[in-house]
Amino acid sequence: MGEWTKWIIIAVVAVIILLVFLLILVYKKPKDDKTTLVTDEYLNKLLNILGSNENIEEVSVENKRLRLILKDIKKVDVIGLKDLEIPAVLKGKELKLLIKNDITTIYEFLNERSANNE
């Protein structure tokens, strides 16, 4: 095999690899982004799910988790949390919600309406 033949083979292989890479980028499926807009309706629905503002004693934020201290955990609508696609962890009277949306807006809304701030 001659010197030029080796370089032609290398160039053809490089072009094929580049084309495969470009095809992968073009036809890659975008991630399914299911972020929900934080509207007044969403906030009020979340407040009702948590058992109204009288049920919330304390609200704080830990990373992407909203930490709530509740008076009566039985007032929380678990099915409503599932409908809003909010994963929750319960420990005593402490409820941690994994918020995927605008956590700052949700925190401010719930903190303003918590039982200690009225």
Instruction: Give the pLDDT confidence of 92-109 residue by residue, as tens digits.
Output: 899 999 988 788 899 999
Diameter of the chain measured on Cα atoms: 86
Q: Supply the DSSP symbol for 75.
A: G
CA distances from 35 to 13, 80, 94, 95 (A): 42, 17, 25, 22
pLDDT at 24 > cutoff 80 = yes
Would you say residue 19 lies in a domain?
yes
Residues 112, 56 share a domain: yes
Residues 45, 15 share a domain: no
Angle at 12 between CA 10 and CA 13, to 5 degrees: 65
Position 35 confidence tier, pLDDT thresholds 50, 70, 90: low
Q: What is the rounded CA–CA span in Å between residue 87 and residue 81?
A: 7
Would you say residue 111 lies in a domain?
yes
Q: What is the rounded CA–CA span in Å between residue 87 and residue 64?
A: 11
Q: Which domain holds residue 21?
A: 1-30
Residues 45, 90 share a domain: yes
Q: Read off the tokens for 83.
A: 């409908």
Amino acid (1-letter code) at residue 28: K
Q: Read off the tokens for 57.
A: 């004693």
The CATH number of whichever domain residue 94 belongs to comes to 3.30.1360.60
pLDDT of residue 117: 54
Would you say residue 45 lies in a domain?
yes
Q: Could you report the per-residue pLDDT of 39-90, keeping only the tens digit for each? A: 899 999 999 999 988 999 999 998 889 999 999 999 999 899 999 888 999 8
pLDDT of residue 38: 83
Would you say residue 35 lies in a domain?
no
pTM of the model: 0.65
Residues 45, 6 share a domain: no
